Amino acid sequence: MSKETRNSKYIEFILVIISLIILTIITLCRKQNAEQIKNDYQVSIGHIVKYYPTDPSGRGTIEYCYVANDSVSYYRTIFAKSKFEKENCHNFEKCKDKLYWVIYSTSNPKNSLINLNLEIQGIENPEFPKKLDDFE
């Protein structure tokens, strides 16, 4: 094996290790942020303002909006873990009026989580979930 090939493999290995470290740090920061929100939160109702399908199973990237107690509208974009039915959000007109529970940090209202498993539009006095497990 030539020296150039060894160096190339070594560099690839280092890049993979660095990528794994960065991915781990990002994952831990997201978990810590979610736990911080769940420990001290306010409740709002949010709605999807944009949906971008990203794979054939119906999963996609969504942007949602909610209003915090400071009367400011906040927006957040996430890759939704929950699956939206293709026919519901691939045709965004069917999806845009759906409402969902949102929790946000009391210390930083732009940090939020949404529960995409529970649609609450059309329900008079919807009951807030007993557990926060489905918020993402």
The residues spanned by each domain of the chain are 1-39, 42-136
Contacts of 132 (CB under 8 A, 6+ apart): 38, 103, 113
Helix (H) or strand (E) holding 123: none
Per-residue pLDDT reduced to its tens digit, 10-24: 899 999 999 999 999
- Rounded Cα distance between 68 and 66, Å, is 7
Q: Enter the pTM of the model.
A: 0.78
pLDDT at 83 over 90: no
Instruction: Name the residue with higher pLDDT: 119 or 82.
Output: 119
The pLDDT assigned to 58 comes to 58
Is 87's pLDDT higher than 50?
no
> For 80-90, what is the mean pLDDT?
58
